[in-house]
Amino acid sequence: MLTMAPGQPILQFGTSRFLQAHVDLLVSEAMADGAALGGITVVQTTDDARSAARVAALATGRGHPVRIRGLSNGQAVDEQRHCHAVRAALRTATDWPAVRREFMGDELQVVVSNTGDAGWRLDDRDGPQALAPDAAPPRAFPAKLLVALHDRCQARPEAALTLLPCELVARNGDHLRDIVAGLARRWALDDAFQAWLHERPVWANSLVDRIVPESIEPVGAVAEPYALWAIERQPGLVPPCRHADIVLTDDLGPFERLKLWLLNLGHTALAELWLRDGQPDGRTVRDAMRDEPTRLALERLWAEEVLPVFDALGEGRQARDYLASLRERLLNPWLVHRLADIAANHAVKKERRLAPVVAAAQRCAPALAQPWLRGALAATGRHDAKESLQ
């Protein structure tokens, strides 16, 4: 079992470089100003060897570096920061009883997650036997969360708890709640617990926006200066900290659309062109933005198939303002954001990032043709072997 400082108010499922450079760093900076709930317990949910190495490094309690490099309002930024928010580190594979104890403790107030594009998939092998005190951890993350929340309900049913998924899914708090509640029904858990799942924990919808393309070994990350964590207000919500880059909003929709339909759609479009055209294996986002045919293809996509949807929604000005800063972010000379990395889980990302724009156009701009977006969605599964290697 890894060393740990028990009883942190924030528990984080996931060890990714994004979480290290965004959630962990924001909490760390807020702690320095006395504006955070406290430290973070990180939990590795997979058996990935690289994640295990990160957890081992985080478990030392010495923190990790985050290098901020990029352009901000035309000015170069290159600075090193040290994140000290992570105070404990666990692995579900070896420390599952300790993870369950964290949920039953007095200190826990916020649960953050970012488990990747496939992180919410269920596993039919998981079942209610996982609720036994000495049971092995379930395989799927939603099942792990269900077991931990069942423990919470048994031990501290009246205690406040905010769940803050950071996965790139629209209305992610609502969606994760529905997955976990559906699993509780499938396991035929008692009605009182199923009601508690809907009534007591706060399932927060949030949107994170920061490009974090590189890791520092064994732990740490390189990130751009831009950062946003937008969280939708609701009764009982407890944010992990106060920070200038955290925005509490009554309407998360505009934030989601800007990020998903411009930044993330742009990344996936560049990956689609890279796969389709057989572009160089080592090509980065910056390389693609400096390649005239690729840049023109992306600019045409934004102008002809995406911005008209924002115009139809009455959000055209905000979209153009966001796009102006986004071009600077994508041309960041220091960040090595490989298209091969972006192309991982490409079919899933296309459905999440392209299909909603097509659906929105059908509702509010039905005359808009969107040939590129529709063609890219129809091409799923028809790329060459390069995609299968990612």
Are residue 271 and residue 350 in the same domain, yes or no? yes
Range of the domain at 275: 254-389
Taken in order 316, 317, 319, 324, the sign of the CA dihedral is: positive
In a domain, 3, yes or no: no
pLDDT, one tens digit per residue, over 222-247 is: 999 999 999 999 999 999 999 999 99
Q: Contact at 8 Å (CB) between 109 and 37?
A: yes
Flag whether 2 is in a domain: no
Res 202 pLDDT > 90: yes
CA distance 153 to 104: 8
Answer with the one of 227, 250, 273 that is the final residue of a domain: 250
- In this prediction, residues 126-155 reach a mean pLDDT of 98
The verdict on residue 224 lying in a domain is: yes
Two structure tokens written together for 319: 């979209």
| Look-up of token digits 């969605």 | 377
Q: Is residue 124 part of a domain?
A: yes
pTM listed for this prediction: 0.88
Percent of the chain with pLDDT over 70: 95
- For residue 133, what is the domain's CATH number? 3.40.50.720
Among the three residues 218, 250, 282, which one is the final residue of a domain in this structure?
Answer: 250
List of residues 6+ apart from 237 with CB closer than 8 A: 162, 202, 204, 231, 248
What is the distance between the alpha carbons of residues 250 and 260, in angstroms, rounded to a whole number? 19
- Residue 48 pLDDT > 70: yes
What pLDDT, on the 0 to 100 scale, is given for residue 239? 98
**140, 208: one domain:** yes
pLDDT band at 382 (very low <50, low <70, confident <90, very high): very low
Residues 208 and 346 placed together within one structural domain of the fold: no
**CATH number of 331's domain:** 1.10.1040.10
Work out the mean pLDDT of the chain and round it to a whole number.
93
- pLDDT score recorded for residue 117: 66
Is 243 in the same domain as 326?
Answer: no
Contact indicator for 140, 201 with CB cutoff of 8 Å: no
376 or 348: which carries more pLDDT confidence?
Answer: 376
Is residue 74 domain-shared with residue 142, that is, in the same domain? yes
Within a domain: 49: yes
Is 192 a member of any domain? yes
In a domain, 369, yes or no: yes
Which residue intervals of the chain are DSSP H helices?
A: 17-21, 23-32, 49-58, 92-104, 141-155, 172-186, 191-199, 253-258, 265-277, 285-290, 292-301, 307-312, 316-330, 339-342, 346-353, 355-364, 371-378
Say how many C-beta atoms besides its own lie within 10 A of residue 46's C-beta: 18
Domain end call among 217, 250, 283: 250
Enter the tokens of residue 322: 């966001």
Same structural domain, 33 and 54: yes
Residues 261-307 pLDDT 10s: 999 999 999 999 999 999 999 999 999 999 999 999 999 999 999 99
User: Does residue 5 lie within any of the structural domains?
Assistant: no
218 and 318 assigned to the same domain: no
pLDDT tens-digit readout, 302-344: 999 999 999 999 999 999 999 999 999 999 998 889 999 999 9
Which pLDDT value is given to residue 3? 44
Q: Are residues 196 and 324 in the same domain?
A: no
| Distance of alpha carbon 320 from alpha carbon 174, whole angstroms | 29
Same-domain pairing of 234 and 379: no
Q: How many domains does the chain have?
A: 2
- Which amino acid is located at 266 in the chain? G
**Domain co-membership, 263 together with 198:** no
Do residues 238 and 268 both lie within one domain?
no
| 113 and 241 part of one domain | yes
